[in-house]
Structure 1
Amino acid sequence: MSDPLSEVVRLLRPQAVFANLISGKGNWAVRYSEFGKPSFCIMLEGSCRLAVDEQEPTTLSAGDFVLLPTTPGFTISSFVPAPPVHLDPNKVPEGLELRYGEQTGQPDMRSLGGSFEFGCADPSLLVSLLPKVVHVQGSTRLSQLVQMVGEEASGGKPGSEFMLSRLAEMLLVEAMRSSTSTSAPPGLLRGLGDERLAVALKHMHARIEQRWSVAQLARIAALSRSSFFERFTRTLGVAPMAYLLAWRMEIARELLRRGELSVSEIAERTGYGSTSAFSVAFTRQVGQPPGLYALYASAERKRA
């Protein structure tokens, strides 16, 4: 059976771009302007206060992991107010430990701040799945990953770049797993948190080429047709067939980017009986014909 969450991570191809170790002592505050890209903070030691724009402030403690899918402006600080140092995240020098507050002595807090880059997939896929702030705490597995990230980031050992990339994937999966509940916006993650819908979603992902009907999926979920349709639409934010179409197009875009299959082969792989039917659906969903999309993707690969 297909694992939809693993499929999403494979499409995203996350790579961690680690910016800096950040430490603080005494009274301090740092105000970061809007970044707009997915970023994260891993708490290595101590604790601090995080205030993300338009969200309730929260306390971060050692072992915590925070993911901001769109990274609006935010302030990270000690628990006693202090005049903030203003920083543009696009201009922060990489590779140095940033120290705030008192410059000498053992810090009260050490964290690792970084951002995710994605290999090929549109990062809006991640944004659509997650709440504005993902704060994972009290997870033994996550604490172990955080410890490994800290060791790799500061150790400078051979192969650390590869290790950090794999750890970033695992951190992302843990963050997404933590959101398979009502904390996630309507979408796949919330659907996977529903036992009945999760079974249907796994079947849809396992065989996207099949001509699914709402009645078939309802039987798999052990629900009446009307109950399944209402529950699916409310939980995922779209009707079952609209969700299937959107996922087919995500797979099609990835296959077109790779450039290994013809448009007709991709049409068959994604459940279309003819190339023309696939082209119409793709153009309507993506905004350009599959052939043109593949051409642009090929040009991008050559530039890279």
Structure 2
Amino acid sequence: MSDPLTEVVRLLQPRAVLANIISGKGNWAVRYSEYGHPGFCIVLEGSCLLAVDGQEPIAISAGDFVLLPTTPGFTLSSFAPAPPVFIDPKLVPGGQGERRHGEPNGEPDMRSLGGAFMFDRADPGFLVSWLPRMVHVQGSARLAQLVQMVGEEYEDQKPGSEYMLSRLAGMLLIEAMRSAAAGSTPPGLLRGLGDERLALALKQMHAHIDRAWTVGDLAAVAALSRSAFYDRFTRMVGVAPMEYLLGWRMEIAKQLLRHEALPVAEVAERVGYGSASTFSVAFSRRVGQSPSRYARSD
């Protein structure tokens, strides 16, 4: 059975870059302007306050993992107020050692690893559209182990660290999304996977993308009536079943066209279209350009 989370992460091929150790002691605050790409924060030691624009401030502690799919502006700070240092992540490169805030000497009250996920393939907007504005995971022993390994790789910089970090980035994403799916999240893929009935239909859609699915077929997989399935899917995932399937088909098609260099007719067949012309019309409407033109573009 195909696993939607694995497929999403495999399609994106994430690698953790632009990362820095961030630490603070005493009264301190650092304000990051909007970045627009998926970002993360892993707390290695201690605790601090995280205030993301549009969200209530939260306390984050050692072992916590925060994923910001669009990374709006946010502030990291001590629990006592302090004038913030302003940083534009688009202008300040990562990988330049530890950034210390507040008192310069002594053991820090908080150490974290902050950075951005970059993707070798696919538009991260595709991932963002199915995720909550902020994913905050705490108390996960498995995630804590991954967090520790990421921190060690960044601090030690042993041979092979780049490869290790690319794999750890994928594992972090999957584990964080697993944890979020088990909790209460806004409508999206994670919430759908957290619903036992809908998860069955989502897995079948991903496993057999080339099948001529109907809402009735998917409702049968989920053991629900057609209307109950449609309403439940739309409410939990945020889009209608056929709209979700279309979006996933087009993401697969984009990868096959650009990275596998397959003929349009073969791509059409692989993603469930009976003819190249029908596929081309649907692709052009969704992507804004023809399949052949998309395959040639950078």
TM-score by length of 2: 0.96
Q: Deviations over 1:93-115 (max 9, x none)?
A: 43221111111111111111110
Q: Deviations over 1:220-276 (max 9, x none)?
A: 111111111111121122222222111111110111111431100001111111111
What CA distance in whole angstroms lies between the structure 2 residues aligned with 1:235 and 1:281?
25
SS of the aligned residue for 2:129 comes to helix
Q: Is the 8 A contact 2:13 2:120 kept in 1?
A: yes
Contact 2:132–2:188 under 8 Å retained in 1: no
Paired residue secondary structure (1:272): coil
Q: Map Cα deviations across residues 120-160 of structure 1 (whole Å, 9 max, x no partner).
A: 10100121121111111000001111111111110121101
Partner AA of 2:284 in structure 1: T
**Does the CA contact (< 8 Å) of 1:131 and 1:183 recur in 2?**
no
CA drift of 1:182 comes to: 6.2
Shift of 1:166: 0.7
The 2-side partners of 1:114 and 1:88 are apart by 12
| Partners of 2:46 and 2:111 within 8 A in 1 | yes
Aligned length: 297
Contact 2:31 2:85 in 1 (8 A): yes
Q: Where does 1:267-282 land on structure 2 (aligned, <5 Å)? A: 267-282=268-283
Displacement of 1:164: 0.9
Provide the residue aligned with 2:15 in structure 1: 15
SS at match of 1:179: helix
How many Å separate the matches in 1 of 2:59 and 2:106?
A: 23
Q: Which residue of 1 aligns with 2:79?
A: 79
CA distance in 2, matches of 1:43, 1:182: 21
Q: Is the 8 A contact 2:39 2:115 kept in 1?
A: yes
1:181 is displaced (CA, Å) by: 5.0
Q: Which residue in the other structure is 1:196 paired with?
A: 197
What is aligned with 2:140? 139
The offset of 1:162, in angstroms, is 0.7
Contact 1:41 1:113 in 2 (8 A): yes
**1-structure distance, mates of 2:43, 2:127:** 22
Deviation by residue 1:154-210 (Cα, 9 ceiling, x = unmatched): 012110111111111111111211221564332221111111111111111111111
2:178 pairs with 1:162? no
Match of 2:177, SS state, is: helix
TM-score normalised by the chain length of structure 1: 0.95
Determine the structure 2 residue equivalent to 1:264. 265
- Which residue of structure 1 lines up, in the alignment, with residue 115 of structure 2? 114
Query: What amino acid maps onto 2:65 in structure 1?
Result: F
The residue that corresponds to 1:239 in the other structure is 240
Give 1:5's aligned amino acid: L
- Answer whether contact 1:16 1:164 (CA < 8 A) is retained: yes
| In 1: Cα distance, 2:5 partner to 2:159 partner | 30
Contact 1:29 1:78 in 2 (8 A): yes
Residue 30 of structure 1 corresponds to which residue in structure 2? 30
RMSD: 1.2
Determine the structure 2 residue equivalent to 1:222: 223
CA contact (8 A) 1:44 1:62 kept: yes
Note if contact 2:131-2:189 (Cα within 8 Å) is conserved in structure 1. no
Question: In structure 1, what is the equivalent of residue 88 of structure 2?
Answer: 88
- Residues 146, 172 of structure 2: 8 Å contact kept: yes
Q: Distance in 2 between matches of 1:241 and 1:29?
A: 46
- 2:22–2:98 CA contact under 8 A, matched in 1: yes
Work out the CA distance in 1 between the residues paired with 2:54 and 2:187: 20
Distance in 1, matches of 2:102 and 2:93, equals 18
- Give the deviation of 1:91 after TM superposition: 2.4
Matched to 1:71, the amino acid is T
Residue 124 of structure 2 corresponds to: 123
Partner of 2:291: 290
| 1:67 aligned counterpart, secondary structure | strand
Give unmatched runs, 5+ long, in structure 1: none
Question: Structure 2, unaligned stretches of length 5 or more?
Answer: none
